[in-house]
Amino acid sequence: MADIGKLALGVIWDGAMVRATDIRSSRPMAAQLLQGKTPAQVLHIVPLLFSVCGRAQGAAAQAALQAAQRQPWPEEAAQAERTIRCEAMQEHLWRMMLDWPRLLGTGPREQRFAAWHALLREVAAGRIGMEVFRSEFERDGLGMPTAAWRDMTNYSELRTWWRTADSLVAQLLSALDESDNSANGEIRLLPPWTAAEAQQACAGRWDAAFSARPHWEGAAAEAGAWTYYSADPMLHEAWRGSGSKVLARLLARVIDVVEMAGGRGAPRLDAASPAPGEGVAVVRTARGLLMHHVQLAAEKVASYAIVAPTEWNFHPSGAFAQDMRGLVANDRERLRRSAQLSALSLDPCVAYEIEVLDA
């Protein structure tokens, strides 16, 4: 497996306020390894390059290549969609049941996570239906039916639920609500593009520089589950009532799990071909929109670009930088915790280190 690199998240602080950020990535641009390869070689290599969201990456590569070759949508497309959904749900649950509880001090749920992870693996394989997982998540994750939970669009009602319900998700949101994580900086959400829309927005920029520092209309944008549900009444009211980006991002993840468990929401995988030999694929992963672009020539890859959510969110002017810059803080450890909350809410797909640097 290739070296996946890591992020160094420097927060430059003068003792009273965050003055700037210093975000550095050693994450390699893996797509460069695909140049000159045949489509068959690409399909073999891509899953080996990515330890996180490997199924989504593989599906994106296959869809982009098939689009470039003008091949019909395969019969196994429904299987790919189911697999992508289950992988995204597993990723969401990993954060909600292991990482967030450790950071918030509510205690990780390793056994329950392992059981649900295995259950979703069975769903992905088609051996059981999604309703089996949904029933368990309603009982232990939400403490109520998903339909009733989705009906809570009033922020006061939602807050009462997470303060009183004895369930995993309620405990997380309650603990986060009690933390000091008020909003800071602007919010600019990346549109949840279809493949054709992604091509229209990014045409002419599918190269290594764009993959490393993507931008939309000249500026960075935030990727993630929040972008999928930006118009959702529950999420809108929670964001307006709490003023917390971190809480909104975590709640968006929960909504995403609930919607996928109910078989709802937009397709997670889409592909398009703007011209012969050119293919674009997008996947709605747990972390945000993943984009693949391929250009074929003489039945080999002439160019390949992969634009991942991590590069959007941890762009030097991206969501993490916006969260931090101008943040008022007079205590180093409280500032470090705020940075940890922000980073985890944006969920990079590589390891990261946070360092508070003196201005």
Per-residue model confidence (pLDDT) at position 77: 79
Per-residue model confidence (pLDDT) at position 184: 73
* pLDDT tens-digit series, residues 296-342: 999 999 999 999 999 999 999 999 999 999 999 999 999 999 999 99
* pLDDT tens-digit series, residues 118-140: 999 999 999 999 999 999 999 99
Delineate the domains of the chain, giving CATH numbers in brackets: 6-358 (1.10.645.10)
SS3 of residue 349 by DSSP: coil
* pLDDT tens-digit series, residues 210-237: 999 999 999 999 999 999 999 999 999 9
* Beta strand extents in 42-143 (DSSP E only): none
pTM beyond 0.85, yes or no = yes
The sign of the dihedral angle between the CA atoms of 257, 259, 264, 266 is negative
What is residue 139's DSSP assignment?
Answer: I
* Residue, of 20 and 78, whose pLDDT is higher: 20
18: confidence class by pLDDT, cuts 50, 70, 90: very high
Alpha-carbon span 120 to 7, nearest angstrom:
30
Alpha-carbon span 336 to 334, nearest angstrom:
5
Tokens 């985890």 locate to: 344
Per-residue model confidence (pLDDT) at position 359: 84
Alpha-carbon span 258 to 289, nearest angstrom:
19
Structure tokens at 100: 């967030």
C-beta of residue 251 within 8 angstroms of C-beta of residue 238 = yes
Alpha-carbon span 132 to 129, nearest angstrom:
6
Q: Count H helices, E strands: the chain?
A: 17, 7
